Amino acid sequence: AFRSDDFEALRAAAEAGLGIAFLSSWVVGPDVKAGRLVRLRPGGEPWNDGPSGIYLLRALPQPSAKVRAFTQALRKSIGSPPVWEPCSTDG
């Protein structure tokens, strides 16, 4: 049995064929797109029914200029839909 709390180690183990890994799409999206991993879509789990997201938390109600610039750069880098997500036709 292989256990790890490191998502890169779990991704590498899944890619090496050691088993199934439960990982976020932002971790394995490029591998799925490239065909190195296959996404399993479990059904019937309420946590898996809708899309999830990445949330930026900040302490102050109004972000500083640096936080606004970082947020804008992060959104641009991630894209919409996120760069790691397969095309919507891959569903």
Q: Hey, what are 45's tokens?
A: 């789990």
Task: Give pLDDT, residue 54.
Answer: 77
Distant-in-sequence, close-in-space partners of 25: CB < 8 Å, separation ≥ 6:
32, 39, 82, 84, 85
Give the tens place of pLDDT for each residue, 9-18: 999 999 999 9
The larger pLDDT score, comparing residue 34 to residue 86, is at: 34
Give the tens place of pLDDT for each residue, 27-85: 888 899 899 999 887 777 777 666 677 788 888 889 899 999 999 999 998 888 887 77
Task: Give pLDDT, residue 87.
Answer: 61
pTM above 0.85, yes or no: no
Task: Give pLDDT, residue 12.
Answer: 94
